[in-house]
Structure 1
Amino acid sequence: MSFLLLLLVLSISSSFAEDPPVVELSLGRVQGSTMQSFQGKTIYAFRGIPYAQAPVGQLRFAPPQAATAWGPEEILKATSDSLVCPQSGISVLMSEDCLKVNVFTRNLEQKPLLLPVIVYIHGGANVLGSGHSLYEAGPQYLLDHEVLFVAFNYRLGALGFLRPLGSSVTGNFGFLDQVMALQWVRDHISAFGGDPDNVTLIGMSAGSMAVSLHLVSPLSRGLFHRAILMSGSATNHFAIDNVYWTQKLAREVGCPMFDGNDVVQCLRNVAWTRIVEVCKAWESYQFVNMKWNYEIDGHFLPRHPTELMAEGNFSQVPLLASFTANELDYTAHVHLESEPLLHDLGSNFEEYAPELFLYKENSEKSISRRLKEFYLGSNTSEISAHNIERFGNIFSDTIIGHGVHRLVQLARHFTPVYYMRTDYVGERSLWAPTDEQGKPLGMGHADDLQYVMPSLWYGTQMAGNHTDIFMMERLTKWFTHFAKTGTPLATTEEEEHDSWPPCNATAMAMLYNGVVPTLGPPAYAERYAIWDELFPTPALGGGVARRQQLNIVAIVAIALATSVASRLFGSLPLDGN
């Protein structure tokens, strides 16, 4: 009798359960589900909506094609995340049919005031990652605020960036996927209660580099209105050679190497699992790297992003650029027990450096010698525990820090740029070594993302009594306020000390986001000056562009000026609540 009573209670309860949310798009109706935000607010979740057709068959290594309508008679069930795009990992969780978007909203009532939209572009060196709500891009923290959150997948690795020699296949497929996802947001987000005229891009690492490319791409103009760049920018010196890696892949799977059409037709018949397997084997040293990257194709990207930025030829929207205090400083710690490799890295630094640090060396190897002299000392013959973090500094600066620094230096002449370094060391880190109590010793790459969106990288969502909750509340407050207004902090005349001044054409300041935020001059000026010396901004003629050319004297002058300014306004604490 008790079992029958339980069934009756469950039946009655289900009859009063809230109907699943349904929205109507021009493509057809979409059914979602509900989730809970960190504070227990109801989130309407629509996951796995196709924004493009599956890039298979003749659509592999081709620009994306818009998703087709499923019609008024069918309801698309968007109640779970799609499979992620092919990458190294568990292949059963992946599919080439991965060009899907997730939408999370708390506003389905079509209120007169639509919500600001935050669109996340995931990182992963262009070979890893996804917009999956459990693996990486959970909405629970951001959706405690009055915003709408979007995340999506895009093609990765060779499938996203293949570039054969002399072919009409010009690469950039992963970036073209991103453009199509942004077009989808423009066309459909109002049905979910989002404002298509108030879209903020946020990217992490390679996703942040992608955001910088959308800033300069003519295809992305008008599709977003603010941008948050976390630990990455394409305004750097990277030596990109997708053709080389395409030919290497073709050789290793037995395909033609030189005729572009033959290469593509052959590789379209190779299983994606084989392509991923072959490319993964190239990362034998486990160092952070970016073998697949953008192409200057005259379509998505007309010229080098640094040139376009220096000319002011970019979407001049408000920017928030950030990085972490230690980024990739610990990237080599995995090899601390590999004495032969560390010895070889130290004694043959000039041979390893161009590939590890993504530049083309001159015949005299003067770039590598200069870097070794500055970071390690010219007489160093071995990498060991006493200098391994200095070795890691090179990864931090070459792959992340200097590109962000240059973005800020160039963009500030045309648009306000809020510049931040996150120093707070929390309870969890992906990279940093730990002390005897298990607490991380630094703030590594992507450690700040855990305070913006929960992911499996850091385990489960933070518990209600977690010691790092204040940082989650702080960053989500700043980022959502920036999405709404273009400024990260609300200020009043009575609270002038709570300001966070943007960098502009005449002044620079950095916010140091520690337990108590402080203002001061930009960090690592001396380190970044080396990269400006070795890889100067290209000369672009007279006028504004020439005035923006950066050299060591200018950098030192800026550092001195901002140091004086910081003494005047005092490295003041900021409201972090």
Structure 2
Amino acid sequence: MPRYFQFALLLFSITFTTAVTFVGDDPVVELSLGRVQGATMPSFRNKTIYAFRGMRYAQSPVAQLRFANPLPETSWGDEVLQATSDSLVCPQPGIASYMTEDCLKLNVFTKSFEDTLPVMVYIHGGANVLGSGHSSYEAGPQYLLEHDIVFVAFNYRLGALGFLSTNSSEAKGNFGFLDQLMALEWVRDHITHFGGDPELVTIFGMSAGAMAVSLHLASPLSAGLFHRAILMSGSATNHFDIDNLFWTRKLARELGCPLYDPMDVLECLRSENWTRIVAVCKAWETYQLINMKWNYEIDGHFLPSHPTELFTQGHFNKVPLLVSYTANEFDYNADVHLGNQHLLHDLGSNFVEYAPELFLYRQDATIGTDLKGFYLGDNTTEINSENIEDFGRIFSDAYIGHGVHRLVQLARPFTPVYYMRMDYVGDRSLSAPLNGEDKPVGVGHADDLQYVMPGLWYGALMAENDSDVFMMERLTGWFTHFARTGTPLNSTDMWPPCNATNLEMLYNGVVTQVGSPGYSERYAVWDKLFPTAARSGGAAWKLSFAMAVATGVASRLIGKLM
């Protein structure tokens, strides 16, 4: 071998393959946009992951692109893009130095450039005001990349920057969801260069991320961009009544901007620093209870009508679904106020007045009265340590449980739905109080996400001898098998899908079992109070009540609702 060639190998350490080159251990991939260099990191059990972090999928949404639909990223020419660290996250409450408005970037993780592997794309949660696809904070690849998949996570615009609406052609809202759509289009166009199959894409999300997944199921713009969907603790098939225009005008008023002319409003708000916009919106959260201020718009573009209506009519992207929620979701949401006697007394004695704001429905005293009677009892005048979890269950069902229940009911005649409740109580919980042995007493909202992806926000990387490792292996095994085949297990005998004639749930505890869906009597209340448009004559209520009778727990409903 000539000496100059040996020297070149030693100097550049470049190895050529059909899809990628290497500079030392670092991979360089050539996309249609330009070349991009990644880095390596270990999986949970020290397999090599090739990590490309902080790649822009859309142009920076600043100046005139603030409060506007995203534009795709353009070529960066001959420069090699260094994708070796995560992007700063999108503006949200928190430490501003960790954030930037120039945040529409994504991460791709792969173990092979030569295979054609299933792709899993994560849409983060956070009530549309928090969260990110950051690999250290929330969306680490270490668990999922024990399996043969390609993993993608990304940021999208949040809060007012992502969902502000003037209810006009100038700003229809949904900017955060259109960011997500553009990220999915980027995956379609470029993921083959990372060993991923653009015809085998699974989108998955938790909480507001799961709500977003349901919106992509409902949106005609997302058709063909994914082929399975996993929804953890969230769906947009709920009763929420959120007025983005109201919050837009409240923001404008508090910043001294015009209120009514759309262009005047937008131009004024575009001139404001994003830190002020975030600070003003954050000040609206006064009770430290789960809440949501910004939501989707039925804009005739991304969303032609209400998602519940689209699912009811079968007008959605019919892909296999894996739908889950946790046994206790927000049951412990109000525990933070156990020492606030005056607030708890006021919440109890004036429940009907508080309820529309707390549980996101249009003012209706009958609804508040029925909810209070069912969950707390008609004569309750205060919330205390004895009934605070009953109060918390209203949040669980209002924000998560009933919307998930309704999605399963509406989707199962059209596509297989694998339905699961997470009952396993691990060593760590974000919200559940501890018992005398310092172990959580339940499994709260997002407690299941720690077994799918490690991150500082939801559960740091476990040690290899952690007692919860088996649940990580179970959930990532189910999710990646589902991404590959459309079923979470090899045999549907152990976990049958819900369809037009079958309705069963898998209860995921230390051991698993299949049975009738849980909390049927609770969700029947919400079906009665918030009937679907197509079933307003009572069919939805009768179905849910029949399920409650079948499980032997309908007695409380008979007196309250018949």
Name the TM-score class by shorter chain. over 0.9
* Structure 2 counterpart of 1:555: 544
Summarize the Cα distance change of 1:305–1:360 in structure 2 as closer, same or farther, 3 Å threshold.
Answer: same
Q: Secondary structure at the match of 1:457?
A: coil
* Structure 2 counterpart of 1:573: none
In the alignment, residue 293 of structure 1 is paired with which amino acid? Answer: N
Cα displacement (A) at 1:459: 4.9
1: distance between equivalents of 2:63 and 2:413? 46
* Structure 2 counterpart of 1:370: 370
Cα displacement (A) at 1:558: 3.8
Q: Secondary structure at the match of 1:21?
A: strand
Query: Where do 1:277-426 residues align within 5 Å?
Result: 277-362=279-364, 365-426=365-426
1:505 to 489, 500, 504: 500
Cα displacement (A) at 1:539: 2.5
* Structure 1 counterpart of 2:19: none
2: distance between equivalents of 1:469 and 1:107? 25
Cα displacement (A) at 1:166: 4.0
1:33 to 8, 33, 39: 39
Q: Please tell me whether residue 93 in structure 1 is matched to residue 98 in structure 2.
A: yes
In the alignment, residue 395 of structure 1 is paired with which amino acid? Answer: F
2: distance between equivalents of 1:348 and 1:556? 29
2: distance between equivalents of 1:105 and 1:355? 44
Query: Where do 1:58-457 residues align within 5 Å?
Result: 58-71=64-77, 73-108=78-113, 110-111=114-115, 114-362=116-364, 365-457=365-457
Q: What per-residue deviation string (whole Å, max 9, x for no partner) do you get for residues 52-72 of structure 1?
A: 00000000000000001012x
Q: Secondary structure at the match of 2:333?
A: coil
Query: Across the two proteins, how many residue pairs are aligned to each other?
Result: 535
1: distance between equivalents of 2:250 and 2:480? 44
Contact 2:107 2:153 in 1 (8 A): yes
Cα displacement (A) at 1:18: 3.6
Contact 1:430 1:457 in 2 (8 A): no
2: distance between equivalents of 1:527 and 1:560? 12
1: distance between equivalents of 2:89 and 2:360? 28
In the alignment, residue 63 of structure 1 is paired with which amino acid? Answer: N
2: distance between equivalents of 1:139 and 1:459? 13
Contact 2:220 2:302 in 1 (8 A): yes
Cα displacement (A) at 1:556: 3.0
2: distance between equivalents of 1:311 and 1:137? 34
- Cα RMSD of the aligned pairs, angstroms, is 1.7
* Structure 2 counterpart of 1:50: 56
Name structure 2 gaps, 5 residues minimum.
Answer: 1-9, 15-22, 553-562
Summarize the Cα distance change of 1:428–1:356 in structure 2 as closer, same or farther, 3 Å threshold.
Answer: same
In the alignment, residue 98 of structure 1 is paired with which amino acid? Answer: C
Summarize the Cα distance change of 1:540–1:559 in structure 2 as closer, same or farther, 3 Å threshold.
Answer: closer
Contact 2:203 2:228 in 1 (8 A): yes
Cα displacement (A) at 1:553: 2.1
Q: What per-residue deviation string (whole Å, max 9, x for no partner) do you get for residues 183-204 of structure 1?
A: 0000000000000000000010
Q: What per-residue deviation string (whole Å, max 9, x for no partner) do you get for residues 400-449 of structure 1?
A: 00000000000001000000000000000001011122211100000000
Q: What per-residue deviation string (whole Å, max 9, x for no partner) do you get for residues 446-490 of structure 1?
A: 000000000102453000110000000000000000000000001
Contact 1:520 1:562 in 2 (8 A): no
* Structure 1 counterpart of 2:29: 23
* Structure 1 counterpart of 2:4: none
Contact 1:165 1:258 in 2 (8 A): no
Query: Where do 1:512-523 residues align within 5 Å?
Result: 512-523=507-518
1:529 to 516, 519, 524: 524
In the alignment, residue 555 of structure 1 is paired with which amino acid? Answer: S
Cα displacement (A) at 1:559: 5.0
* Structure 2 counterpart of 1:570: none
Q: Percent identity?
A: 70
Cα displacement (A) at 1:19: 3.1
1: distance between equivalents of 2:550 and 2:460? 44
Summarize the Cα distance change of 1:23–1:90 in structure 2 as closer, same or farther, 3 Å threshold.
Answer: same
Contact 2:450 2:459 in 1 (8 A): no
Q: Secondary structure at the match of 2:199?
A: strand
Moved more, 15-24 or 472-481: 15-24
1: distance between equivalents of 2:181 and 2:379? 48
Contact 1:532 1:550 in 2 (8 A): no
Contact 1:28 1:75 in 2 (8 A): yes
Q: Secondary structure at the match of 1:500?
A: coil
2: distance between equivalents of 1:367 and 1:408? 24
2: distance between equivalents of 1:105 and 1:550? 47
Contact 2:312 2:534 in 1 (8 A): no
Q: Secondary structure at the match of 2:533?
A: coil
Moved more, 56-65 or 499-508: 499-508
Contact 2:93 2:282 in 1 (8 A): yes
Cα displacement (A) at 1:39: 1.1
In the alignment, residue 223 of structure 1 is paired with which amino acid? Answer: L
